[in-house]
Amino acid sequence: MSQGTPHVEDVLGTVDRRLWRRILGHARAYKGAAYAMMAGGVILAIVESLLPLVTGLLIDAVIGEASTSRITWLGVAYAGLSVSFCVIVWWFIVAAGKLATGLAHDLRQASFQRLQELEFAYFDVQPAGWLVSRLTSDCRKVASLMPWFLLDLCWGATFLVVVGGGMLLIDWVLGLCVLAVVPVLVLVTIFFQRKLLRSSRLMRKTNSELTAVYNEGITGLWTTKSLSREPENIGEFQTVSQSMCNYSMRNSIETSIFLPIVTSISGMGVGIALWVGGVQIQDGEGLSIGMLIAFMQYAVLFAMPVRELAARISDLKGAQAAAERIQGLLDREPEIADSEEVKSRITAAAAGQRHGSAADGGDHRIEAIDFRDVSFWYKPEEPVLEHLDLSIAAGETIALVGPTGGGKTTIASLLCRFYEPCEGGIFINGIEYRKRSLHWLQSSLGIVLQHPHLFSGTVARNIAYGQPEATMEQIEAAARTVEAHDFITQLADGYEFEVGEGGSRLSMGQRQLIALARAVLADPQVFVMDEATSSVDTETEHHIQRGIEAILEGRIAVVIAHRLSTVRSADRILVIQGGKIVEQGSHEALLKADGAYQALYRRHFAGS
């Protein structure tokens, strides 16, 4: 349900400066924009604080009947400052936009690249929806906050110093009156920012729950309707939606109290200063009217940077969890990757110092695959394969059969190095496969899964997914081999038919045929087919069988299937049960053996 918030975040924690420095490190390429923006912040604060002073001088000049040229010059100065103000605002908005867009782009790019490199085990524990929000909302949140934080930090700090100093210079007694309320202002602001941070976090958390309920409500609608569960679903939705209303209301009330309180506190300082200053003027001493007005404007503006700085720090805390998640993803090293030794062999082979035919300098051809004493578990307390030994010779087709959950897919995943053995090793031509390049191995395999994934795009593009340079003739030939050509030509645009997201406009059997054609086109050394034709009708499967047999000739193939027709012609059938090979041999030999295979045959295959 709460896929969007698997980590409980400490909303009141301190700002993790090391983390933010690292995030800022990703913006190195936009250093120029960052400095321009920070300089813009400093200049803006100075210009903004000069405006009240010029106003005060102008008023005094008019009241004191100063020369026209002085009044004109002050008017020109005021206009000049106002124009500079606009130009600086334009300048830093452009620079902030450049920094935010660039940083978001770089963070997205780096996180996507890391996701492409990470091993399958990572995706077993991180739900897809959660990862998608890391790539989208987290990157956006962190990147859009960074420029405004830097800007407000420079602007706010400069403003506080210049305006504070300005007030003390104009009249230190009045200045101290205004500054006296600053500690109260800071305390109240921190108190409310914490409250606002907590309620907005709760709002976001509830919002992601709401999204999940929406999502399940829509995707599971068929099941809901078939079980008449609509009233319960509406009730569940009502509960989450009500919490969202409550938290939003709380946040609005807190905001509505916070702003008037802060304004009143700063107003008190201004009031005291106005009172003291006014009495002084009445007594004919102290400030001129113009300077008192300038001072009053400073006093009013003084609360602004305090409020803005507090808001930015609270934004930073609010986005800290997002920053941690992005940095955590970027720091995560892929567990299944080429070792340093393999990488140096690839470099040596590229430089022509090794003479094997594969990119890592080893043999290109796969002659034999050996699982030696392989044990594997997804979770240490639940072993899936135990001490498995399996040798596959060149040209051999082996079939894995057995009850659900026996470990067949796991064996195939280990062979493909989607996962690696926890104990023991898998040897290719006598060499442990971790000593070979991952890319070489995986590009030598043609893998077809039970639920193949098709990408949005045409049928032709999907078949040529791994071989983008393939010609239309090659694509068609692959489709003909797996009996997919006929159904493809009957589609509205034939090979140019758009398959939809995940192949949603095709039936499961049609998707499997396209995935098979994709594997055939890649012309791999080894075929791994996990229930590759389970959704295809038996008639078509017989045809495919004939087409594929010619292709499998001379290659290693590992076929997992529940249907007898698919495994019957294999050179060797292995019965996998409870993570062990309990029986193996040819179809005929196993039937005669009166063991597990025969029992399976009777129970599952008798009808085919």
Ligand X SMILES: Nc1ncnc2c1ncn2[C@@H]1O[C@H](COP(=O)(O)OP(=O)(O)OP(=O)(O)O)[C@@H](O)[C@H]1O
Query: What's the closest the beta carbon of residue 401 comes to Mg ion, in angstroms?
Result: 11
* SS3 assignment, position 514: helix
143, with CB counted inside 10 A (0-12, 13-18, 19+), is: buried
For the bound state, the minimum distance from the C-beta of residue 395 to Mg ion, rounded and expressed in Å, comes to 25
510 is a contact residue toward Mg ion (CB under 5 A): no
Q: How far is the CB of 409 from ligand X (least distance, A)?
A: 3
In the complex, the smallest distance separating the C-beta of residue 576 from ligand X, rounded to whole angstroms, is: 6
Task: Decide which of Mg ion, ligand X, none touches 510; Cβ closer than 5 to 8 Å per partner kind.
Answer: none
Among the candidate windows 61-69, 106-114, 321-329, 407-415, which touches ligand X by CB under 6 A? 407-415
Closer to ligand X at the Cβ: 326 or 574?
574
Read off the tokens for 243: 């919490």
Q: Which is nearer to ligand X, 378 or 601 (CB)?
A: 378
The nearest distance, CB 504 to ligand X, in angstroms, is 23
Query: Alpha carbon of 328 to those of 244, 313, 419: distances in Å?
Result: 29, 22, 22
Total of residues contacting ligand X (CB under 6 A): 10
Span of 74-82, 236-244, 398-406, 477-485 interacting with ligand X by CB under 6 A: 398-406
State the residue for tokens 């005021």.
Answer: 78
Gap between the Cα atoms of 49 and 246, Å rounded: 41
Helix (H, G, I), strand (E, B) or coil at 41: helix
Nearer to Mg ion, 124 or 232 (CB): 124
Place of tokens 């918030």: 5
Place of tokens 């420079």: 154
Task: Give me the least distance between CB of 596 and ligand X, in Å please.
Answer: 14
Asked if 462 and 499 touch (Cβ cutoff 8 Å), the reply is yes
Q: Which of Mg ion, ligand X, none does 404 bind, CB closer than 5 to 8 A by kind?
A: ligand X
- Report 35-54 residues binding ligand X (CB under 6 A): none
Contacted entry of Mg ion, ligand X, none for residue 102, CB cut-off 5 to 8 Å set by kind: none
CB under 6 A: which stretch of 30-38, 59-67, 405-413, 551-559 binds ligand X? 405-413
**26 half-sphere exposure, CB direction, 13 A CA radius:** 26
| Residue list 120-179, contact with ligand X (CB under 6 A) | 124
Structure tokens at 165: 């100093």
Q: Contacting ligand X (CB under 6 A), which of 409, 444, 533, 540?
A: 409
Q: How far is the CB of 577 from Mg ion (least distance, A)?
A: 13
Residue 410 or residue 437: which is nearer to ligand X going by CB? 410
Q: CB neighbours (10 Å) of residue 328?
A: 12
How far apart are CB 512 and ligand X at their closest, in Å?
A: 15
Tell me the closest approach of the beta carbon of residue 530 to Mg ion, in angstroms: 6
Nearer to ligand X, 404 or 490 (CB): 404
Q: Give the CA count within 13 Å in the CB-facing half-sphere of 103.
A: 31
- Nearest residue (CB) to ligand X, 124 versus 501: 124
Residue among 117 and 124 whose Cβ is closer to ligand X: 124
Q: For helices 320-331 and 139-170, what crossing angle results, to 10°?
A: 130
3-state DSSP assignment of residue 357? coil
Q: Give the residue at shortest CB distance from Mg ion.
A: 409
As a whole number of angstroms, the distance between CA 411 and CA 437 comes to 20
Q: Which residues, other chains included, contact 368 with Cβ-Cβ below 8 Å and sequence gap of 6+?
A: 391, 392, 393, 394, 427, 428, 429, 430
Coil, strand, or helix at residue 458? strand
Q: At what angle do helices 139-170 and 68-117 cross, to 10 degrees?
A: 150
CA end-to-end distance (rounded Å), the chain: 41
Residue 375 CA: distances (Å) to CA of 189, 382, 385, 410, 425: 59, 11, 5, 11, 9
- Count CA within 13 A, CB hemisphere, residue 235: 4
User: How near is the Cβ of 408 to Mg ion at its closest, in Å?
Assistant: 5
Would you say 147 and 95 are in contact if contact means Cβ atoms under 8 Å apart? yes
What x-and-dash track marks residues 353-392 binding ligand X by CB under 6 A?
A: -------------------------x-----x--------
In the bound state with ligand X, the residue whose beta carbon lies nearer, of 233 and 534, is 534
Q: Which residues pair with 498 in a beta bridge?
A: 458
Stretch that binds ligand X, among 49-57, 342-350, 402-410, 479-487 (CB under 6 A): 402-410
Nearer to ligand X, 250 or 562 (CB): 562
E-state strands within 380-451? 382-393, 397-401, 423-428, 431-432, 445-448
Nearer to ligand X, 54 or 575 (CB): 575
Query: Which of 406, 446, 452, 503 is in the footprint of ligand X by CB under 6 A?
Result: 406
Q: How far is the CB of 368 from Mg ion (least distance, A)?
A: 24
Quick check: 404 binds ligand X (CB under 6 A)?
Answer: yes
Q: How many residues bind Mg ion (CB under 5 A)?
A: 1
C-alpha 138/C-alpha 104 separation (Å) is: 9
In the bound state with ligand X, the residue whose beta carbon lies nearer, of 426 and 464, is 426
Q: Which is nearer to Mg ion, 314 or 409 (CB)?
A: 409
Kindly state the smallest distance separating residue 385's Cβ from ligand X, in Å.
8
- Find the part of the chain contacting ligand X (CB under 6 A) among 238-246, 306-314, 403-411, 431-439: 403-411
Contacts of Mg ion in 395-434 (CB under 5 A): 409
DSSP 256-322: HHHHHHHHHHHHHHHHHHHHHHHHHHHTT-S--HHHHHHHHHHHHHTHHHHHHHHHHHHHHHHTHHH
Contact between 405 and ligand X (CB under 6 A)?
Answer: yes
- Give contact residues for ligand X (rule: CB under 6 A): 124, 378, 384, 404-410
- Give contact residues for Mg ion (rule: CB under 5 A): 409
